[in-house]
Structure 1
Amino acid sequence: MYTTHLENLAESLRGVLGDKLIDVQVRFGELTIIVCAEDIFAASEMLRDDPALAFDTLIDLCGIDYSTYSSGDLSDKNNLKNRRFAVIYHLLSVDRNHRLRIRVLTENNDYPVVNSVTDIWPVANWFEREAFDLYGIVFTGHPDLRRILTDYGFIGNPFRKDFPITGHVEMRYDAEQKRVIYQPVTIEPREVTPLVIREENYGDSES
């Protein structure tokens, strides 16, 4: 019954989105579609307004950095294999009682850009700011795109896979200057290996 529901929803998505739909995937009982970055605003508007879909609620939006495990398992359509950054949207239709995941891979790995969907779902405002802050993904058309979790003077994007664990700088309160200051990182990088202690004959089969 549930599989039939997903198949019917997938068929509706193909009919509504047409050539804006790159791929449709059903895995682990969940439906995911892939849409071009340039089409996300128009596709979102269709998903919200079409009565057969009626995705009125954006539950979540987040960024992904594929640099260490590749996006090649998705599809080679539209040359998606080497795309580094993606934006993931989780939608809910309260009226139709169905859910959808959208995956949008940005075209430029050095300067990832996606159109904002705040005009479609206003709740996207802070979600997009978070993806901008943590991944450096720029959302064109966003009404107030600025950092939301890190300091305005923060250097880099901490959820990118190439961002150092220690960060680039550290900050502390300076009693003489009576203010918070930035300084070079003083923590030495190290690899922590857990110490595992076992009994002398651990794992030996009983005689």
Structure 2
Amino acid sequence: MTQKLDTLQAALEAALGAQIQALVRARGEITITVSAADYLAAAKTLRDAPALKFEQLMDLCGLDFSDYKNEPWDGLRYAVVSHLLSVTHNWRVRLKVFCPDDELPAVASVTELWASANWFEREAFDLYGILFEGHLDLRRILTDYGFIGHPMRKDFPVSGNVEMRYDAEKKRVIYQPVSIEPRENTPRVVREDNYGGLH
């Protein structure tokens, strides 16, 4: 496995060069980080370069780093991570890009490269509020059309902003402000050493 990762790393460095801001090898996988300005070009190179040939986008998701590992995060808040597969070479890579503006997180859409990005990008938009420039149908996919906010952001209230219920007098579903009091949930803390085999 190490030799295969060495080969993949060499191919990535040769094809992308200075576009790679960071390259991390962990748990038998490679994660590369590129800038938002280089994201679309780097993705195209990953797909088209004969030495790489990442023909399939397996997954794409948004991330909110505002409270990473229960510690304050010193850096850009939102990121998009793609998992790519090369059937030709039988290897995978993780591509990470941070959105350059925390107030209006946006990166280029990769739907022109991989059609499977369509719904993944809509999901990242819906849940995190990340905009994908060039996406032809960027609208909510999991939450309701009238939903306020983005529920996977770490500052989103646990109880939400609005609730819906059926009103018997109006004979329709209505939306109203949340009527339950917000509360702090304290998660169970595991204090055992090496819990679950983790070190």
TM-score normalized by structure 1? 0.85
Q: CA deviation at 1:172?
A: 0.7
Q: Which runs of 5+ in 2 are unaligned?
A: 188-199
User: Tell me, what secondary structure is at the counterpart of 2:82?
Assistant: strand
Shift of 1:190: 3.1
Query: Which amino acid is 2:68 matched to?
Result: Y
Gap change, CA 1:180 and 1:92, over 3 Å in 2: same
Aligned equivalents of 1:163 and 1:49: distance in 2?
Answer: 39
Deviations 1:62-113 (A, max 9, x none): 000000127x9xxxxxxx9411000000000011100000110111011100
Change (3 A) 1:151 1:109: same
User: Could you say which residue in structure 2 is the equivalent of 1:162?
Assistant: 155
Picking from 114, 125, 129, the partner of 2:118 is 125
Q: CA deviation at 1:187?
A: 1.6
Amino acid at match of 1:37: A
Q: CA deviation at 1:186?
A: 1.3
- Correspondence 1:116 to 2:109: yes
Q: Which of the residues 122, 127, 133 maps onto 1:134?
A: 127
Choose the corresponding residue for 2:170, options 171, 177, 183: 177
Corresponding residue number in structure 1 for 2:80? 87
In the alignment, the residues of structure 2 paired with residue 152 and residue 131 of structure 1 have an alpha-carbon distance, to the nearest angstrom, of: 15
Tell me the distance in 1 between the aligned counterparts of 2:131 and 2:157. 21
Take 2:29 and 2:180, find their aligned partners in 1: how far apart are those partners?
43
Structure 1 residues 36 and 192: CA distance shift in structure 2, 3 A? closer
Matched with 1:97 is: 90
> Aligned-pair distance for 1:193?
6.6
Aligned match of 1:106: 99
Take 1:153 and 1:120, find their aligned partners in 2: how far apart are those partners? Answer: 31
Q: Which residue of structure 1 lines up, in the alignment, with residue 51 of structure 2?
A: 52
Distance in 1 separating the partners of 2:75 and 2:65: 9
Q: For structure 1, which runs of at least 5 residues remain unmatched after alignment? A: 73-79, 195-207
Identity of aligned residues (%): 58
CA distance in 2, matches of 1:187, 1:162: 18
Per the alignment, residue 63 of structure 1 pairs with: 62
Aligned to 2:41: 42
Give the one of 148, 153, 178 matched to 2:141.
148
Please give the secondary structure, in 1, of the residue aligned with 2:157.
coil
Aligned-residue Cα RMSD (Å) equals: 1.9
Scaled by the length of structure 2, the TM-score of the pair is 0.89
Alignment-derived partner of residue 180 in structure 2: 187
Highest Rg: 1 or 2? 1
Give the Cα separation in 2 of the matches to 1:46 and 1:33: 13
SS at match of 1:15: helix
SS in 2 for 1:54: coil
Give the structure 2 partner of residue 76 of structure 1.
none
